[in-house]
């Protein structure tokens, strides 16, 4: 099939046709699309070219993001492009020391510079109950992190003061001119030493200790394997760095234009930090460049707002790359010690683990990441006895926080490495040992929670295994073979070994341990146009596209407009943990169904039947008996209908002091096969191919799912081989894109999707599961397994360094 | 300031001594953007079209303009002329960098991991520096080591490279498939007329290092009159020889009192623990072995 090159509308012809979802979309699309579709498909390629591609429509089809074209053309206004008349530029002074006492801050030199309008420090923020400047501590769970450091700095790059000036260079110079006298303290950078070190913060050094006791502690297996695993510090490294604009309001409040992914949460916390009522702070989400973690730290937003309030003028701040590396939270570096017991057939008997997460200087979401790490410490396997002790501790390292698959990723690398070790010890195929232990619906997780959602672990492994392997270079001597080391690199075919590794993993979705998940959405239909008002931020995951599809599906309207997000709308919660499809998507669906009821009821009443007997399909309202057939557009003419609905998934409970409890709403699974080539003399690794099978519940937009999987795999490959934000004695070594190596197109493997298993999760909205995190969780483990297979080296550390892959 | 000829550029620089000359700007503008450098003025060399090409001179020499971009050097016609330099230029970064980064800039920045530097060292190239007092010629190695540094007001105009009409190889170890800085690099050129092998190791020290004894020894192992064959064992030995000469002895590093033998005159990234030096030695040995193997294939 030759796909017509219709790039402007980005129609489904660009993708492979036999996707079940896109086939359905095609059918609907043909009906709703232009009537010019040729009656004779056999009319040949010419006719096909001439026919305009029907617009994809409804759930299961693959429309492109509405902002795809502006983003590709470079005309999309990002947060860094914001502008206001008469604006000032902000700059932040950061601590050069990982741990120090602030003796004094003298801003007089900075204020004396021409063009400087304000310098703010912790003293400008509301003081604590004792009347001392505390820098307005904040945090998503525990408020322990000051906006601007007061008294003590606890990590390098912690903001100490901020400046507003009429030119960005002046602002930077002025920030540098703020004289801060420090009394340097000994930093604690080894998480293992944090337990016994003096408290780095009044709250102590232990964020959380989570013991998990499941089964019989005395159970012993015939075979025992042990391992110690280490995961480095990955950074979300958003290409669009933190940027925003704050505008003071006449009522003494402030309006923040930022690329937040949690508008209401950020608004509430920012208001609290500023000592304002929440309704005097308005947050407008604008120009989100994409996110795989929390977009930005609150300190940035509050500082911006404070400068605007202090100067009475709009203030803009756009962080440079180094600033950006200091500003946002990173992935938790982890140390994991494991002992797996199995019987002689390879059935797992007991898993013992100690997990230590380095939370950095402030709490952020460490306790949540720790819960995931402990709960998924045994992986998607049936294990009758599990004993885990997990700790998250405070150090003077850069703070760790939320990043796709937090907690679950670190554990996945460790338990999958252990399974490979066990397979080698027993002489069993790595795939086979996973199949023997695979979890299924109804099995218990180590937290005592039964997996009630579909858990097609075995089917995922089968799908991955059934996919043919990529050809070996010897089979295709004519094609150019990209060696490890890249084109024109030092690769030598004689020293290249190929390795194949398998991994399967799981990740939870939505907030855990009793987090109240709720979202509100409004759907309004006015004539033929529908509007969705929902404060769920589309950070690249595709919520706006999905909301459009949902409304199209329920109401049969083609033209759906998604309103931009601000905090005047009801809250929809953060864009994280794969929750927006379920929670906000569910709210949009409910609201749309209410509108549909309003639409159908009078029609049904006219015909003397109940509205349940009417259906909307193919743009027509039809009755069960076929008597009625009215185009939706006709029914909607002149009408204005709207409804607001809320979606709140079933509640969860916190894990108790034995790590037991129904803490998770649902879990998603993913299986992967990685094929790598390793230059065993130089230790260069190239991931040739990654084959993925994922449990998606229901593919609502297959192409968007593929994009999510490719993104997750790329991020996982980055962590597995390249990305590590190194810190020496708490100081970042490589806060630049020269030093912090992001995967480029050449480092990225061919990603093949073996299967998107559509076993619907009955309690989830649409039966769909979150798709973004699972591939990122599993890919590092799969790549590590493949490197292990190629080299025979143990590979116990991520990222894999060249010296770990040299034979 | 945008001079159109080298002379104008020299004049412009003489008129504004604090000005910084800029060609591709890939290093300079990065420093400016990072706030590390705030030059009072710039002399843009991009309009000097004579420096963007090359010419031939008698005696089998090519005179390369300092404004040649990496992308231009990577093209096949240039590769037929000086294959080693073309190899280095092709690996010098992503296409955006190769399109603007220049040969002269690479020399002037003198980054330890600069890709063209070991090749120029192995080719024993010389640069022409033009200043208010006229032009002078300086070997690249003298310029890089600071033996004969650039004087104020001087501009790097031309790079004189001998045409050897024999295989040349540039290899670098990066640990990844995408473009990256070299952890170690090896340039190797054959000079059949003089029956010599010349080799330079980059990125392990602040300047490219030449393992002269290893070069002299290995050139005696090559069957110059025949098909330029060599015993595979000699290839391996050459690699070890080069690595031993260019990376300080790990044992000596472990004992800070001991002198570092060989050409290891710089602290190198190997200044860390002995294990790191051991790995670097191994990497250089593999690169040197492969480089000679490819050159003789």
ipTM value for the complex: 0.85
Same-domain pairing of B289 and B256 = yes
Helix ranges (H only) for B6-139 are 6-15, 28-33, 70-73, 76-81, 83-90, 95-100, 103-109, 116-123
**Cβ–Cβ below 8 Å for A746 and B171:** no
Give the ranges where B6-75 is alpha helix by DSSP (H). 6-15, 28-33, 70-73
| Residue B37 pLDDT | 84
Which site among A80, A91, A490 would you substitute to test the B interface, given the most B Cβ atoms closer than 10 Å to its Cβ? A490
Q: What is the pLDDT of residues A349-369, one digit of tens each?
A: 999 999 999 999 999 899 999
CA distance B46 to chain A (A): 25
Which is more confident, A517 or A778?
A: A778
B180 & B286 share domain:
yes
Q: Is B203 exposed, middle or buried (0-12, 13-18, 19+ CB in 10 A)?
A: buried
Please identify among residues 54-73 of chain A the ones whose CB lies closer than 8 Å to any CB of chain B: none
What is residue A749's DSSP assignment? Answer: P
Is A684–B174 a contact, with Cβ atoms under 8 angstroms apart? yes
Task: Read off the pLDDT of residues B143-180 as tens digits, 9 standing for 90 and up.
Answer: 999 898 888 889 999 999 999 989 999 999 987 888 88
pLDDT at A12 over 50: no
Residue B245: which H helix or E strand, with range?
helix B232-246
Inter-chain contact A485–B290, Cβ cutoff 8 Å?
A: no
- Return the higher-pLDDT residue of A434 and A58: A434
Residue of B nearest to A682 (CA): B283
Interchain contact, B177 vs A492, CB within 8 Å = no
Distance from CA of B205 to the nearest CA of A (A): 18
Q: Identify the top-confidence range among A89-93, B26-30, B250-254.
A: A89-93
Closest residue in B to A485 (Cα) is: B177
Residue in B with minimal Cα distance to A493: B290
Give the whole-angstrom CA distance, residue B265 versus residue B206.
9
Distance from CA of B181 to the nearest CA of A (A): 8
Q: What is the mean pLDDT of residues A69-90?
A: 89
Cβ–Cβ of A682/B175 closer than 8 Å?
yes
From A134's Cα to the closest Cα of chain B, the distance in A is 31
A722 and B176: CB-CB below 8 Å?
A: yes
Residues from chain A that touch B177, judged by Cβ atoms under 8 A, are 482, 484-486, 489, 684, 686, 746-747
In a domain, B230, yes or no: yes
State the pLDDT confidence band at A679, using cuts at 50, 70 and 90. Answer: very high
Residues in chain A: 807
Span A370-382, average pLDDT: 94
Instruction: Say which of B34, B173, B178 has its CB closest to residue A744.
Output: B178
Q: Are residues B193 and B235 in the same domain?
A: yes
Burial code (b: 16+ CB inside 10 Å, e: under 16) for A77-107 equals: ebbbebeeeebbbbbbbbbebbbbebeebeb
pLDDT tens figures, B201-220: 999 989 999 999 999 999 88
Q: Closest Cα of chain A to B129: distance in Å?
A: 30
The answer to whether the Cβ–Cβ distance between B91 and A486 falls below 8 Å is yes
Judged by a CB distance cut-off of 8 A, whether residue A494 touches chain B is no
Q: What is the mean pLDDT of residues A668-679?
A: 94
Of A721, A744, A802, the CB nearest to B179: A744
Do both B84 and B188 map to the same domain? Answer: no
| DSSP letter assigned to residue B151 | P
**Please, what is the average pLDDT of chain A?**
87
Confidence of residue A392 (pLDDT cuts 50, 70, 90): very high
Contacts with B175 from chain A: Cβ below 8 Å: 682-685, 801-802
> Is residue A652 left, alpha or beta, with left meaning phi > 0 and alpha meaning psi from -120 to 50?
beta
Nearest-CA distance from A802 to chain B in Å?
A: 6
- Considering B115, B139, B162, which residue would you say is the last residue of a domain? B162
Does residue B167 form part of some domain?
A: no
Q: Is the pLDDT of residue A33 over 80?
A: no
Asked if residue B201 and residue B125 are part of one domain, the reply reads no
Are A806 and B282 within 8 A, CB to CB? yes
Domains, in order of start, for chain A: 12-57 (no CATH), 81-185+242-318 (3.90.1170.50), 334-448+458-512+654-804 (3.30.365.10), 519-647 (3.30.365.10)
Nearest CA in chain B to A677: B177
pLDDT value of residue A4: 40
Q: Which pLDDT band holds residue A66 (cuts at 50, 70, 90)?
A: confident
Token match 């009793």: residue? Answer: A514
**What token pair was written down for A299?**
């300190």
A803 contact residues in B (CB cutoff 8 A): 279
> Is the same domain home to B129 and B27?
yes
For position B208, which CATH number holds? 3.30.390
Dihedral pair phi/psi, residue A131, rounded to 5°: 85, 10
Query: What domain count does chain B have?
Result: 2
Give the per-residue pLDDT at A5: 38
Q: Examine the domain organization and report whether B152 and B195 are in the same domain.
A: no
Q: What is the CATH number of the domain that holds B140?
A: 3.30.465.10
Residue A492 and residue B290: Cβ atoms within 8 Å?
yes
Interface contact A684-B176, CB threshold 8 A: yes
pLDDT-derived band at A480 (thresholds 50, 70, 90) equals confident
Q: Is the dihedral of CA A490, A496, A502, A503 positive or negative?
A: negative
Residues of A whose CB is below 8 A from B171: 489-490
A14 touches chain B (CB under 8 A): no
Whether A488 and B90 lie within 8 Å, measured CB to CB? yes
A220-267 pLDDT, tens digit per residue, is 999 999 999 999 999 998 888 889 999 999 988 999 999 988 899 999
Chain A CB contacts of B35 under 8 Å are: 172, 320
DSSP 8-state symbol, A361: T
| A749 close contact with B: CB closer than 8 A | no
**A117–chain B nearest CA distance, Å:** 21
Q: Do B173 and A685 touch (CB under 8 A)?
A: no
Instruction: Specify whether the CB–CB gap between B174 and A486 falls below 8 A.
Output: yes
Indicate whether B180 and B118 sit together in one domain.
no
Is the residue at B285 inside a domain?
Answer: yes
* Contact criterion met (CB < 8 Å) for B179 and A486: yes
- Identify whether residues B116 and B198 lie together within a single domain: no
Q: Tally helices (H) and strands (E) across chain A.
A: 18, 29
Single residue among B162, B194, B221 that ends a domain in this structure: B162
| Portion 269-328 of A in contact with B at CB < 8 A | 320-322
Place of tokens 């092998």: B197
Chain A closest-CA separation from residue B277 CA (Å): 12
In the numeric block, which tokens belong to residue A505? 């993993």
Cβ within 8 Å, pair B177-A722: no
Closest CA–CA distance from residue B174 to any residue of chain A (Å): 7
Residue B287: domain span: 175-296
Q: What is the least distance, in Å, from the CA of A775 to any CA of chain B?
A: 21
| Interface check A168 vs B, CB under 8 A | no
CB contact under 8 A, B177 and A489: yes
Question: Quick check: A36 pLDDT over 50?
Answer: no
> Tokens standing for B49?
């079209």
Q: How far is A797 from chain B (nearest CA, A)?
A: 16
Q: Are residues B191 and B152 in the same domain?
A: no
Q: Residue A720's closest chain B neighbor by CA?
A: B176
Nearest CA in chain B to A322: B34
pLDDT (0 to 100) of residue A270:
92
Whether pLDDT at B259 is above 80: no
Helix/strand/coil for A120: strand
Q: Which residue of A has its CA nearest to B31?
A: A736
pLDDT tens digits, A617-662: 877 888 887 777 788 888 888 888 899 999 998 889 999 999 999 9
Contacts with A728 from chain B: Cβ below 8 Å: none
pLDDT at A398 over 60: yes
A802 close to B (CB below 8 A): yes
Identify the weakest region by mean pLDDT among A164-168, A391-395, B227-231: B227-231
pLDDT score for B252: 64
Give me the half-sphere count of Cα atoms (radius 13 Å) on the Cβ side of residue A691.
Answer: 19
pLDDT, position A320:
87
- Of B121, B139, B162, which closes a domain? B162
Residue A52 has pLDDT above 70, yes or no: no
Position A705 confidence tier, pLDDT thresholds 50, 70, 90? very high
Q: Is the dihedral of CA A621, A624, A625, A626 positive or negative?
A: positive
B158 shares its domain with B290: no
pLDDT computed for residue A706 by the predictor: 93
User: Does residue B39 contact residue B61 with C-beta atoms inside 8 Å?
Assistant: no
Residue B63 lies in a domain: yes
Q: Does A739 touch chain B (CB under 8 A)?
A: no
Query: Which residue shows structure tokens 């043909």?
Result: A30
- What is the side-by-side strand order in the sheet with B184-191? B168-173, B184-191, B196-202
Q: What is the pLDDT of residues B70-88, one digit of tens each?
A: 999 999 999 999 999 999 9
Residues of A in contact with B172 (CB under 8 A): 489-490
Q: Which of A172, A486, A803 sits opposite B177 (nearest CB)?
A: A486
Considering only CB atoms, B175 lies closest to which of A684, A738, A743, namely: A684
H/E stretch holding B284: helix B274-296
- pLDDT of A685: 93
My answer on whether B47 and B113 are in the same domain is yes
Per-residue pLDDT for A143 more than 70?
A: yes
Q: Is the pLDDT of residue B285 over 60?
A: yes
Could you report the per-residue pLDDT of B216-257, keeping only the tens digit for each?
Answer: 999 888 888 888 888 889 999 999 999 989 888 776 655 544
Which residues in chain A are closer than 8 Å to B293, comparing Cβ atoms? 492
Whether B139 maps to a domain, the answer reads yes
Q: How far is CA A746 from CA A561, A678, A742, in A?
A: 38, 15, 11
**Residue A803, min C-alpha distance to chain B (Å):** 7
């Amino acid at each position: 099939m030759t796909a017509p090159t219709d790039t402007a509308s980005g129609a489904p012809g660009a993708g492979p046709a036999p996707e079940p979802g896109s086939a359905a979309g095609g059918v609907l699309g043909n009906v709703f699309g232009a009537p010019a579709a040729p009656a004779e498909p056999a009319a040949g390629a010419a006719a096909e070219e001439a026919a305009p591609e029907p617009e994809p429509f409804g759930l299961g089809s693959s429309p492109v993001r509405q902002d795809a074209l502006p983003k590709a053309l470079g005309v999309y206004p990002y947060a860094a492009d914001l502008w206001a008349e008469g604006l000032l530029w902000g700059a932040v002074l950061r601590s050069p020391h990982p741990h120090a006492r602030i003796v004094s801050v003298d801003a007089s030199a900075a204020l004396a510079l021409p063009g400087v309008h304000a310098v703010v420090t912790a003293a400008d923020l509301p003081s604590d109950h004792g009347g001392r400047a505390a820098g307005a501590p904040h945090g998503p769970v525990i408020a322990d992190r000051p906006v601007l450091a007061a008294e003590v700095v606890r990590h390098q790059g912690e903001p100490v003061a901020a400046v507003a000036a009429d030119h960005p260079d002046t602002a930077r110079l002025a920030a540098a001119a703020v004289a801060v006298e420090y009394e340097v303290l000994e930093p604690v950078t080894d998480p293992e030493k944090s337990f016994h070190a003096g408290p780095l913060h009044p709250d102590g050094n232990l964020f959380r200790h989570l013991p998990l006791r499941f089964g019989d502690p005395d159970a012993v297996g015939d075979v025992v394997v042990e391992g110690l695993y280490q995961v480095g510090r990955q950074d979300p490294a958003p290409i669009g760095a933190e940027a925003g604009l704050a505008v003071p309001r006449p009522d003494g409040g402030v309006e923040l234009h930022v690329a937040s992914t949690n508008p209401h949460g950020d608004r509430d916390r920012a208001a609290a930090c500023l000592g304002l009522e929440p309704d005097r702070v308005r947050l407008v989400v604008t120009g989100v460049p994409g996110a795989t973690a929390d977009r930005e730290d609150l300190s940035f937003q509050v500082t911006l707002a404070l400068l605007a309030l202090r100067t009475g003028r709009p203030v803009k701040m756009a962080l440079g790359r180094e600033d950006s590396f200091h500003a946002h939270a990173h992935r938790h570096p982890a140390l994991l010690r494991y002992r797996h017991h199995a019987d002689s057939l390879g059935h797992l008997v007991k898993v013992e683990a100690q997990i230590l997460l380095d939370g950095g200087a402030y709490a952020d979401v460490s306790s949540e990441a720790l819960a995931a790490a402990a709960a998924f410490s045994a992986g998607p396997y049936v294990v009758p006895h599990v004993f885990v002790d997990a700790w998250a501790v405070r150090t003077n390292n850069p703070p760790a926080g939320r990043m796709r698959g937090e907690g679950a990723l670190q554990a996945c690398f460790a338990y999958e490495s252990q399974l490979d070790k066990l397979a080698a010890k027993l002489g069993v195929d790595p795939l086979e040992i996973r199949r023997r232990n695979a979890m299924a619906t109804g099995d218990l997780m180590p937290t005592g929670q039964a997996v009630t959602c579909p858990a097609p672990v075995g089917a995922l492994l089968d799908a991955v295994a059934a996919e043919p392997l990529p050809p070996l270079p010897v089979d295709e001597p004519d094609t150019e073979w990209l060696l490890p080391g890249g084109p024109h690199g030092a690769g030598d075919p004689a020293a290249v070994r190929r390795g194949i590794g398998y991994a399967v993993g799981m990740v939870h979705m939505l907030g855990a341990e009793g987090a109240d998940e709720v979202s509100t959405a409004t759907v309004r239909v006015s004539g033929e146009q529908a509007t969705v008002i929902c404060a769920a931020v589309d950070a690249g995951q595709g919520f706006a596209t999905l909301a459009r599809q949902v409304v199209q599906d329920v109401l049969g309207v083609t033209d759906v407009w998604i309103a931009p997000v601000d905090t005047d709308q009801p809250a929809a919660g953060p864009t994280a943990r794969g929750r927006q499809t379920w929670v906000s998507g569910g709210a949009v669906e409910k609201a749309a169904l209410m509108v549909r009821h309003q639409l159908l009821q009078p029609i049904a009443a006219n015909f003397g039947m109940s509205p349940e007997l009417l259906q909307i399909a193919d743009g027509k309202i039809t009755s069960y008996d076929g008597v009625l057939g009215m185009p939706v557009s006709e029914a909607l003419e002149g009408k204005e209908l709207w409804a607001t609905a809320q979606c709140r998934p079933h509640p969860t409970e916190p894990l108790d002091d034995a790590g037991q409890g129904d803490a998770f709403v649902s879990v998603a699974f993913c299986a992967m096969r990685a094929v790598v080539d390793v230059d065993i003399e130089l230790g260069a690794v190239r991931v040739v191919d990654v084959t993925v099978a994922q449990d998606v519940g229901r593919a609502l937009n297959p192409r968007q799912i593929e994009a999510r999987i490719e993104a997750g795999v790329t991020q996982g490959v980055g962590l597995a081989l390249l990305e590590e934000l190194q810190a020496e004695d708490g100081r970042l070594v490589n806060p630049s894109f020269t030093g912090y190596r992001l995967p480029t197109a050449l480092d990225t493997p061919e990603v093949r999707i073996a299967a998107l298993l559509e076993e619907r999760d009955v309690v989830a909205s649409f039966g769909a599961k979150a798709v973004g995190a699972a591939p990122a969780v599993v890919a590092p483990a799969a790549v590590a397994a493949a490197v292990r297979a190629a080299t025979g080296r143990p590979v116990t550390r991520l990222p894999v360094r060249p010296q770990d892959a040299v034979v | 300031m945008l001079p159109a000829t080298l002379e104008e550029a020299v004049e412009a620089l003489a008129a504004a001594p604090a000005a910084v000359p800029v060609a591709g700007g890939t290093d300079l503008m990065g420093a400016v953007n990072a706030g590390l450098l705030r030059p009072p003025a710039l002399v843009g060399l991009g309009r000097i079209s004579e420096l963007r090409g090359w010419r031939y001179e008698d005696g089998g020499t090519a005179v390369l303009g300092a404004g040649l971009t990496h992308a231009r050097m990577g093209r096949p016609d240039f590769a037929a002329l000086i294959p080693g330099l073309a190899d280095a230029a092709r690996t010098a970064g992503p296409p955006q960098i190769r399109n603007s980064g220049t040969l002269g800039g690479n020399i002037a920045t003198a980054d330890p991991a600069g890709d063209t530097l070991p090749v120029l060292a192995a080719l024993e190239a010389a640069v022409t520096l033009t200043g208010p007092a006229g032009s002078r010629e300086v070997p690249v190695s003298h310029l890089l080591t600071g033996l004969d540094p650039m004087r104020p007001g001087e501009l790097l105009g031309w790079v004189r490279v001998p045409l050897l009409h024999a295989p040349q190889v540039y290899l670098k170890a990066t640990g990844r498939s995408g473009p990256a800085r070299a952890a170690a690099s090896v340039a190797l050129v054959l000079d059949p007329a003089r029956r010599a092998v010349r080799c330079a190791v980059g990125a392990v020290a602040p300047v490219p290092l030449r393992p002269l004894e290893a070069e002299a020894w290995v050139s005696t192992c090559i069957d110059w009159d025949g098909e330029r064959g060599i015993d595979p064992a000699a290839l391996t030995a050459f690699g070890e020889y080069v690595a031993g000469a260019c990376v300080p002895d790990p044992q000596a590093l472990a004992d800070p009192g001991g002198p570092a033998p060989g050409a290891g005159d710089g602290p190198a990234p190997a200044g860390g623990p002995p294990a790191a030096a051991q790995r670097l030695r191994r990497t250089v040995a593999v690169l040197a072995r492969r480089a000679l193997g490819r050159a003789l294939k």
